[in-house]
Structures are given as structure tokens and as C-alpha cells.
Amino acid sequence: MKGKLVIFTAPSGAGKTTIVRHLLNKIDLLDFSVSATSRRKREHEEDGKDYYFLTPSEFRKKINNGEFLEWEEVYEGQFYGTLKSEINRLWEEGKHIIFDIDVKGALNIKNTYPDNSLAVFVKPPSPEILFDRLSKRGTETPESYRKRVKRATLELTYENKFDISLMNDVLKTALQEAEKIVGDYLKIG
């Protein structure tokens, strides 16, 4: 039987990656959908673990071959996408799958698998707090920070399109709530 899909989405900087990592540590039957991207690898990231890092032309080739379940140009010139092969690999291992994905990709996956997916929107306490977190993260250049703020402003308007909103104000509380939401959905714990 195919496992369930747990989709975490949020504006960049809202903390969804931290929440997804926490859930992966806590819930054995859950595994991470490693996306493909054409953006540059950050120092602490590992190819095949955080992302499959592709060149723009490798990425385009996979689009043309129909290898993606969904893909988006999340930032200008930076592509991100979910490979069909990744989902099948995890399902064959008997896993439920968790996604860390942008709002449009999340809606795509939700619409493709409406009966076995849960989409959770992680929201910051306020847009100002989000922009502040993003600037303190130290991963962005002034140009990429500007792009992310613009994108996050759009993404915040998507909140009511998802099954559940999860406020990430105090991280510890957000992690507990995330465990409860996902545990209930998978009927574990």
C-alpha cells in the first residue's frame, strides 16, 4: 500500500526545515522527499541528502523527460522540483513521505494526491519577524535576501489554501504541535 504524504510548506525563513528535521528524528516511518534543485549547494548541505544538486541544464533535461511530479522556478533562475522516482523509491520502502516545499509545489502535490496527503502551512508570528529571521540566518546575499522577502510576501497570502496552519513563534511549542498534528494524521504515538 502507498504511504501517506505529509507536506510542510511556508515562506522561506518561517522554520519549516527545522520542524521537518525534528519530525524525521521522531517518527521512524517517515522519510524525507529529497528534492532536486539548480541552486548552489550551501556549505553544510550534502548532495543526495538535502537536495539532488543539478546544473540548470540537467534540471531542464529532466523537465523535458517528464521526470518531475512538480517543479517550480521558486526564485529567478533557481529551479526546485520533486522527482517521481523519489516518491516511488520511498513508497517501495513502505515509508510515509514528508515534504519541505514551496506553496505552489505543495498545492500541486495536494491536488495530485487529495486522499492521502496533509498540507501544513507554517506561519511566522508576523511578516516583520520573518524578514528579521531571514536576514539573521546568514545564508543570503543582499540580492538573494531581496528576492526571498518578495517571494515570502506572496507566500504569506497562501495560508488559507492548506489543511492546517501551524504558528512558529516559540520553536519548542511549534515542534510539539507539529508532532501531534503528524502523529494524529499517521495515527501513531
Site residues, ligand 5GP (CB under 6 A): 12, 35, 39, 70, 72, 74, 80-82, 100-102, 104-105
Instruction: Check if the beta carbon of residue 98 is closer than 8 Å to that of residue 17.
Output: no
H-only helix segments in 99-141: 103-112, 127-136
Residue closer to ligand 5GP by CB (options 1, 55) is 55
Distance CA 134, CA 144 (A): 10
CB of 189 to ligand 5GP, least distance (A): 25
CB of 55 to ligand 5GP, least distance (A): 16
Residue closer to ligand 5GP by CB (options 4, 104) is 104
Give the list of residues 6+ apart from residue 63 with CB closer than 8 angstroms, or none. Answer: 71, 79, 81
* Structure letter (DSSP) for residue 93: T
Which residues are paired to 96 by β-bridges?
A: 30
CB of 72 to ligand 5GP, least distance (A): 4
Residue closer to ligand 5GP by CB (options 39, 188) is 39
